[in-house]
Amino acid sequence: MSNPATPPAVGVLDERAPLTFPPGFLWGAATAAYQIEGAAAEGGRTPSIWDTFSRTEGRTVAGHTGDVACDHYHRLSDDVRLMAELGLKSYRFSVSWPRVQPGGSGPANAEGLDFYRRLVDELLANGIEPWLTLYHWDLPQELEDAGGWPARDTAARFADYSQLMVDALGDRVKYWTTLNEPWCSAFLGYGSGVHAPGRSDGADAVRAGHHLMLGHGLAVQALRAARPEAQLGVTVNLYPVTPATDSPDDRDAARRIDGLANRFFLDPLLRGQYPGDLVADLAKVTDFGHVRDGDLATIATPLDLVGVNYYSRHVVAAPVPGAKPEPYWRAPSCWPGSEDVRFVTRGVPVTDMNWEIDAPGLVETLRRVHEEYTDLPLYVTENGSAFVDAVIDGKVDDVDRLAYFDAHLRAAHEAIGAGVPLRGYFAWSLLDNFEWAWGYTKRFGMIYVDYDSQTRIPKSSARWYAEVIRRNGLAAQ
Ligand code: FCB
């Protein structure tokens, strides 16, 4: 029984208070080229691995492709107007490599560059800071045919492409991230094969991860030399990894998955080394013979910021012989050498992706990067949720998505209070879009897209986010 004279716990009061973010906090929304642009064969664009993959039977739900997507290529001005109505301070988009450098080598395609020049100019004209991601998974098919990311030369090709982009847009784009989520490119693309190019070989996945990071380092050097004033970074997708119980075996399972999911990237990028325990865990998969002298120094080329994408947590348990493997991205084959670790669910609420909703995990993740790895400014470059939306009387009242954003922004604020130099937050996503292997069946947007008519309807979460941006924080609850 509670004593009526007892004041409420401090935490409760804090939750109800309005939360203000630091001045200049960069409020944004994110998208990616293949997920929204469409116009797959226009303006000189050639196929990427995602075109090939999505056109291959059985690879995406209902055979969906990005051929048309949100038709953003033809609706750029309307979409920028929607961003301006939201009051976005920044827009994070990615460049389609085969649109600007068809085939992945040789000269730039002027028509492709013009599209991004127009985008950037319209953003700037609307007071929206462009944030450019160079690689959000659409490798030119020709480079995959030449070996893809497991081949070392792809890193050099990526640096050339980055040079071409900074030559074209370096005068007007300040924020650049090289890679988006190299874990997905490497371990879903070449490990489990649920993402393009759909290959499945543990050693190739590890090599791909290394060459992605090498390409990142080379690109940072090229960008830095061209534009010393630019803000350069990389985006990694991180997960807190929690053992299901405190048993030594479960804790070891958590150590292994943390190694593959998080430290595989954080340690080389921010410390210039692979963790010893990870190398040992992978001993049966690879001898790391693909790592050459000097690679790790290149990979650890100094940055200006780190982008963190956060969606959920992994809870794992020690292997049990004969246990049934988890489907999709937790499929055993995206964890080479640790295939038998079990991913467990806790029965907490999940999104339409079946991802557990875990806002405190964002605090944990940001604090970890700051406290264990770097003093650099951090940005949440993606955070969001898929839910089933219904259009009723021309409106979409996405209360679940709104609550997800609200909880995670409260977590972001808590992380700032704990000393994390968090400088911005990008909602995933501006628009409903092509959700990779799930096609158009999962909606992450703050703006609803009717794919038949290409009508856009800002959802309740969009209106709410506009208010958050206007206040630079959250209203009292
Ligand atoms: C991230 C991707 C992004 C989107 C969200 C839901 O892993 O970077 O393109 O698919 O997940």
pLDDT in tens, 133-151: 999 999 999 999 999 999 9
Ligand 1 centroid to Cα of residue 311, in Å, is: 9
Q: Report pLDDT for 4.
A: 36
Question: Which atom of ligand 1 lies at the shortest distance from residue 181's CA?
Answer: 8
The three-point CA angle 397-401-404 to 5° equals: 145
C-beta of residue 477 within 8 angstroms of C-beta of residue 15? yes
Task: Give pLDDT tens digits for 368-419.
Answer: 999 999 999 999 999 999 999 999 999 999 999 999 999 999 999 999 999 9
436 known member of a binding site: yes
pLDDT computed for residue 8 by the predictor: 38
Who contacts 229 (Cβ-Cβ below 8 Å, separation ≥6)?
A: 174
CB burial readout 400-417, b (16+ within 10 A) else e: bbbbbbbbbbbbbbbbbe
Atom of ligand 1 nearest to the CA of 180: 8
Backbone angles phi, psi at 192, to 5 degrees: -80, -25
> Ligand 1 centre from 137 Cα, in Å?
10
The tokens describing 191, both together, are 């490990």
3-class secondary structure per residue, the chain: CCCCCCCCCHHHHHHHCCEECCCCCEEEEECCHHHHCCCCCCCCCCCEHHHHHHCCCCCCHHHCCCCCCCCHHHCHHHHHHHHHHHCCCEEEEECCHHHHCHHHCCCCCHHHHHHHHHHHHHHHHCCCEEEEEEECCCCEHHHHHCCCCCCCHHHHHHHHHHHHHHHHHCCCCCEEEEEECHHHHHHHHHHHCCCCCCCCCHHHHHHHHHHHHHHHHHHHHHHHHHCCCCEEEEEEECCCEEECCCCHHHHHHHHHHHHHHHHHHHHHHHHCCCCHHHHHHCCCCCCCCCCCCCHHHHHCCCCCEEEEECCCCEEEECCCCCCCCCCHHHCHHHCCCCCCCEECCCCCCECCCCCECCCHHHHHHHHHHHHHHCCCCEEEEECCCCCCCCCECCECCCHHHHHHHHHHHHHHHHHHHCCCCEEEEEEECCECCCCHHHHHHCCCCCEEEECCCCEEEECHHHHHHHHHHHHCEECCC
* Pair 73, 451: CB distance under 8 Å: no
> Contact at 8 Å (CB) between 105 and 160?
yes
**408 annotated among ligand-binding-site residues:** no
Residue 164 Cα, ligand 1 centroid: separation in angstroms?
Answer: 26
CA–CA distance, 422 with 417 (Å, rounded to integer): 10
pTM above 0.85, yes or no: yes
**From the CB of residue 425, how many other CB atoms can be counted at a distance below 10 Å?**
26
Determine if residue 136 is labeled as part of a ligand binding site. Answer: yes
Q: Is residue 180 marked as binding?
A: yes
Ligand 1 atom nearest residue 35's Cα: 9
Q: Residue 77: its pLDDT value, please?
A: 98
- Nearest Cα to 33, choosing from 81, 62, 87, 76? 76
Determine if residue 435 is labeled as part of a ligand binding site: yes
Question: Which atom of ligand 1 approaches the CA of 32 most closely?
Answer: 9
**Which residue bears the tokens 């050459």?**
292
From atom 10 of ligand 1, which residue's Cα is the shortest distance away? 435
Q: In the annotation, is 382 catalytic? A: yes
Lining ligand 1 with CB less than 6 A are 32, 35, 180-181, 184, 237, 309, 382, 428, 435-436, 444
CB 132 within 8 A of CB 169: yes
- Do 195 and 189 touch, CB atoms closer than 8 A? yes
Centroid of ligand 1 to alpha carbon of 123 (angstroms): 22
How high is the pLDDT of residue 2?
35
The answer to whether residue 111 is catalytic is no
Q: One of 122, 181, 364, 414 is an active-site residue; which one?
A: 181
Q: Which of 36, 429, 436, 446 to mutate to test the pocket of ligand 1 (most atoms within 8 A of CB)?
A: 436
In the block, tokens 């991230």 appear at: 177
HEC profile of 28-67: EEECCHHHHCCCCCCCCCCCEHHHHHHCCCCCCHHHCCCC
pLDDT for residue 42: 98
Q: What's the 444 CA to ligand 1 centre distance in angstroms?
A: 9
* Below-50 pLDDT ranges, the chain: 1-14
pLDDT value for 327: 64
Cα angle 22, 24, 26 (rounded to 5 degrees) comes to: 100
